[in-house]
Amino acid sequence: MPSRQVSLSVNDAPIALNNFVREYIDHVVDGILASLRGTGEIKSIDLSIEGDRVSIVLNNADLPLNPFVTRIIRNTIMGMVSSLKRVSTIEKMQIIIKK
């Protein structure tokens, strides 16, 4: 997979990512999307979590998610990001990935 730009913000504050974390987030989000039907080629991803809500904008189009998929994505991403330094409480989070 070619290197992509990955940015993370938690509670509207940008979080600095080292190369390992940046690539880890990229691979995890890519794996999540690869498991969903009809996602096609990934050019840009905007994944947002606020409370129990998860929204994914894939290639500038909203990706519909059922409640089960929403819970799995939310729990996976929250667990991953909550492990990072300088992240204590998470009220909202945004991951942006671009080619």
Number of residues that this document lists for the chain? 99
**pLDDT by residue, tens only, the chain of 99 residues:** 557 899 999 999 999 999 999 999 999 999 999 888 777 788 899 999 999 999 999 999 999 999 999 999 999 999 999 999 888 889 999 999 998
Tokens standing for residue 59: 């290639």
Going across the sheet that includes 92-98, the strands are 13-15, 5-10, 92-98, 44-50, 53-58, 61-62
Beta strands 61-62 and 92-98, pairing class: unpaired
